[in-house]
């Protein structure tokens, strides 16, 4: 099976001169369709920087990233934006929800940007929100939801796209143990059912039991 995501000797530095910090030393990895990969390590270890680079949100100072067989570095910023919209799902710690939209509308608006009909977008939004336990909160806005509920809306929004690549930064950090296990299981099921490659930066040990691989980072390097 051809890899869906390949990074070759990617690295990242911040600052210059005596202020320069090597946030990510050359890292190489190859991920396959259907894999759930967990990246863990202490704060400042480079795991979020690595996630940003392989997802195309951040350009490396050196090295190459290929996603679904396409090198990200040769794309313009606009092309990378369109690629991410079409093929990638993102789950951020900050949720990135629009205050005026209901839970259902948060999901529907992304699907509509992909050209999905209004009827199908509504159906897929309901399906995704019910899968994360929010079937009764379809009409709720972010100001009416708890942090855990907002996190689940963000997860539903990513899953409803049915993307080939899913990138998650601490996807269960705002969730209690029961909901955390549910979401971890959903990410595992998504990888198995659709062949999506799922990459999670997390401190949550509940994901380790479901992951195909666990990469431990320290000081900008993959140690194990």
CATH of 5-222, one of 3.30.70.2740, 3.30.465.10, 3.40.50.300, 3.30.950.10: 3.40.50.300
Nearest Cα to Cα of residue 164 among 4, 1, 27, 36: 4
Residue 188: the pLDDT is 86
Full-model pTM: 0.91
pLDDT digits (tens, 9 = 90+) for 42-83: 888 999 999 999 999 999 999 999 999 999 999 999 999 999
Backbone angles phi, psi at 77, to 5 degrees: -60, -40
Residue 175: the pLDDT is 81
CB proximity list for 132: less than 8 A, separation 6 or greater: 152, 153, 155, 156, 159, 182, 183, 186
Question: Residue ranges of the domains in the chain?
Answer: 5-222
State the CB neighbour count (10 A cutoff) for residue 223. 10
Q: Is the pLDDT of residue 185 over 90?
A: no
110 is written with which tokens?
């992304």
Contact criterion met (CB below 8 Å) for 12 and 31? no
Residue 15: the pLDDT is 85
Residue 205: the pLDDT is 75
Residue 28: the pLDDT is 96
Rounded CA-CA distance 58/60 in Å is 7
pLDDT digits (tens, 9 = 90+) for 27-50: 999 999 999 999 999 888 999 999
Angle at 220 between CA 208 and CA 200, to 5 degrees: 30
């Amino acid at each position: 099976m051809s890899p869906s995501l390949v990074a070759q000797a990617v690295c990242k530095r911040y600052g210059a001169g005596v202020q320069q910090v090597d946030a990510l030393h050359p890292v190489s990895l190859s991920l396959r369709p259907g894999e759930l990969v967990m990246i863990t390590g202490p704060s400042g270890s480079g795991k979020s920087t690595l996630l940003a680079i392989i997802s195309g949100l951040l350009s490396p100072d050196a090295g190459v990233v290929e996603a679904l067989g396409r090198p990200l570095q040769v794309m313009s910023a606009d092309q990378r934006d369109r690629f991410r919209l079409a093929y990638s799902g993102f789950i951020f710690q900050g949720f990135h929800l629009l205050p005026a939209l209901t839970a259902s509308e948060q999901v529907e608006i992304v699907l509509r940007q992909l050209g999905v009909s209004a009827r199908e977008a509504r159906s897929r939004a309901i399906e995704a929100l019910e899968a994360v336990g929010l079937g009764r909160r379809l009409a709720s806005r972010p100001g009416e939801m708890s942090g855990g509920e907002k996190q689940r809306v963000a997860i539903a929004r990513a899953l409803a796209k049915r993307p080939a690549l899913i990138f998650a930064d601490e996807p269960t950090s705002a969730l209690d143990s029961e909901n955390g296990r549910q979401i971890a299981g959903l990410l595992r099921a998504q990888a198995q059912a659709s062949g999506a490659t799922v990459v999670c930066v997390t401190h949550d040990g509940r994901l380790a039991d479901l992951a195909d691989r666990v990469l431990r980072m320290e000081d900008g390097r993959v140690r194990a």
